[in-house]
Amino acid sequence: METKLVTLFGGGGFIGRALAQELFARGWRVRIAQRNPRSAFAVKALGGLGQTQFVAADVTKAQSVARAVAGADAVVNLVGLLKGDFEGAHVDGAGNVARASAAAGVSVLVHVSAIGADPESLSAYGRTKAAGEAAVRSAFPAATIVRPSILFGRDDGFTNRFAGLLRMLPVVPVIAPATRLQPIFVGDVARALAEAVTNPGAHAGKLYEIGGPDILTMAEVNQWLANATGRAKSFVPVPDGVARILAMATRWAPGAPITSDQLAMLAKDNVANSALPGLTALGVQPTPMAAVAPAWLVPYRKHGRFGDRARA
Shared-domain flag, residues 139 and 262: no
Phi (first) and psi of residue 47, to 5 degrees: -110, -175
pLDDT of residue 146: 98
Any domain includes 312: no
Beta-bridged to residue 52, according to DSSP, are 30
Q: Tell me 37's DSSP state.
A: G
pLDDT of residue 312: 41
pLDDT of residue 244: 82
- Please compute Rg for the chain using Cα positions: 20
pLDDT of residue 310: 47
CA-based nearest residue to 145, from 85, 194, 193, 188: 193
pLDDT of residue 174: 93
In total, the chain counts a number of residues equal to 312
Find the domain containing 124 and state its range.
5-151+184-210
CA-based nearest residue to 10, from 32, 43, 28: 32
Is 20 strand, coil or helix?
helix
Any domain includes 126: yes
Any domain includes 281: no
User: Is the Cα torsion angle 258, 261, 267, 271 positive or negative in sign?
Assistant: negative
Domain count of the fold of the chain = 2
H-helix segments, 30-117: 62-69, 86, 93-103
Question: CB under 8 Å to 2, separation ≥6 — which residues?
Answer: 26, 27, 28, 198
Shared-domain flag, residues 190 and 243: no
Shared-domain flag, residues 114 and 137: yes
CATH of the domain at 22: 3.40.50.720
Query: One digit per residue, pLDDT tens: the chain, 312 residues?
Result: 458 999 999 999 999 999 999 999 999 999 999 999 989 999 998 988 889 999 999 999 999 999 999 999 999 999 999 888 999 999 999 999 999 999 999 999 999 999 999 999 999 999 999 999 999 999 999 999 999 999 999 999 999 999 999 999 999 999 999 999 999 999 999 999 999 999 999 999 999 999 999 999 999 999 999 999 999 999 999 988 888 887 776 655 555 667 888 889 998 999 999 999 999 999 999 999 999 999 999 999 986 665 555 444
Q: Are 137 and 143 in contact (CB under 8 A)?
A: yes
pTM of the complete model: 0.93
H-helix segments, the chain: 14-25, 62-69, 86, 93-103, 124-139, 159-168, 186-198, 200-203, 218-228, 240-249, 260-265, 289-292, 294-297
Shared-domain flag, residues 291 and 264: yes
Shared-domain flag, residues 194 and 245: no
Shared-domain flag, residues 239 and 120: no
Shared-domain flag, residues 190 and 227: no
Shared-domain flag, residues 76 and 163: no
Shared-domain flag, residues 12 and 110: yes
Any domain includes 83: yes
pLDDT of residue 307: 57
Shared-domain flag, residues 167 and 297: yes
Any domain includes 278: no
Shared-domain flag, residues 138 and 252: no
Shared-domain flag, residues 57 and 133: yes
pLDDT of residue 50: 87
User: How many angstroms separate the CA atoms of 169 and 15, rounded?
Assistant: 30
Orientation angle between helical segments 93-103 and 62-69, nearest 10 degrees: 40
